[in-house]
Amino acid sequence: MLGSGTKRPEAPEKRGEMTHARASGATSTEPVTASAGKPAKTIETRGVNLFYGDFHAVEEVTMTIEPNKVTALIGSSGCGKTTFLRSLNRMHELTPGARVEGAVTLDGEDVYDSRVDPVAVRRLIGMVFQQPNPFPTMSIYDNVAAGLNLNSTKVSKAQKDSVVERSLRRAHLWDEVKDRLDKPGGSLSGGQQQRLCIARAIAVEPEVLLMDEPCSALDPVATLAVEDLIGELKNRYTIAIVTHNMQQASRASDVTAFFNLDETGKPGHLVEMGPTQEIFTNPKQKETEDYVSGRFG
């Protein structure tokens, strides 16, 4: 059992389950293929409050992020979207003084259980950042393989080659880079670098992908390419994406969650969540209607 109220999976030897052995950093002699042929995972939060020291940044967020769907987190700057996203894979706690109250579970297992290794959580719940961040001193090949090198000591060169090619193909980048895998990742264009970062994230077969404004630094053509890729990746993963682009949220997501920070000084909070078409055409809350219609934000 990982934490109070959670149950150990019946078959803990199956890869892809966040058992205590995996979460504590145990490695396998097999290549990491957690999501291959398996259902995507559900993330649930219950009463999540997020703090930076004494500052209450996000208040009482309860939501379910469903498998095989893209959930967009929208809202004006400063309302806590990115802070909330970072709490889902324990990146929030990397900030000095930051803390989390409430529950975050991955298919019912507590990711904040004291026995769980945060690094293992971040492998199962991968993150793609706003600015493409390939490792500048590494080749394209080594960028994709970086997670494999950290997570297992017994991956053969043939296995690594297979994972790198598969990940680059899934990121729709293989045909563009297959003849220059030894070139620096930083030599690619911005859109290619972001797809390289996505390939790096999925190489270790996470169960969830978190994306923090992954297209904000890209031109319109590269943005559409990444959005198309996200639409394909949801067939394998659970995806949550922060975006300030309303058109992107309406195009690329299945579910939309609207966060707000009101004038009373109340912390950032979840106002409304529902199917994207409903949120954009028939929201239940006036705050949501005002935001998606451009009246504020």
* 3-state class (DSSP) for residue 243: coil
Residue type, 152: S
Predicted pLDDT of residue 97: 94
**pLDDT tens, residue by residue, 17-39:** 454 434 444 333 233 334 444 56
d(CA 272, CA 50): 18
Read off the pLDDT of each residue in 247-269 and give the average, rounded to a whole number.
Answer: 91
Distance CA 150, CA 27 (A): 10
Residue 97: how many CB atoms within 10 A of its CB? 10
pLDDT given for residue 217 in this prediction = 84
Q: Could you report the per-residue pLDDT of 48-107, keeping only the tens digit for each?
A: 999 999 999 999 999 999 999 999 999 998 999 999 999 999 999 999 999 999 999 999
Rg (CA), the chain: 19
169-210 per-position pLDDT tens digit: 999 999 999 999 999 999 999 999 999 999 999 998 899 999
Asked whether the predicted pLDDT for residue 136 surpasses 90, the reply is no
- CA–CA distance, 225 with 216 (Å, rounded to integer): 13
Within its chain, how far is the Cα of 62 from the centroid? 18
| Domain chopping of the chain, boundaries | 43-292
For the entire predicted model, the pTM comes to 0.84
Helices (H) and strands (E) in the chain, counts: 11, 10
Amino acid at residue number 286: K
Tokens 């706003």 — which residue? 130
The tokens describing 283, both together, are: 């929201």
Residues 50 and 84 sit within 8 Å (Cβ to Cβ)? yes
The whole-angstrom distance between residue 145's C-alpha and the CA centroid of its chain comes to: 19
Q: Please report the pLDDT score of residue 152 as a whole number.
A: 54
Confidence of residue 297 (pLDDT cuts 50, 70, 90): low
Instruction: Please give the backbone phi and psi of residue 99, each rounded to the nearest 5 degrees, phi first.
Output: -150, 160
Q: What topology does CATH give the domain 43-292?
A: Rossmann fold (3.40.50)
What percent of the chain is predicted at pLDDT more than 90? 71
Backbone dihedral angles phi then psi of residue 270, each to the nearest 5 degrees: -80, 120
Mean pLDDT of the chain: 85
Encode pLDDT of 97-110 as tens digits: 999 999 999 999 99
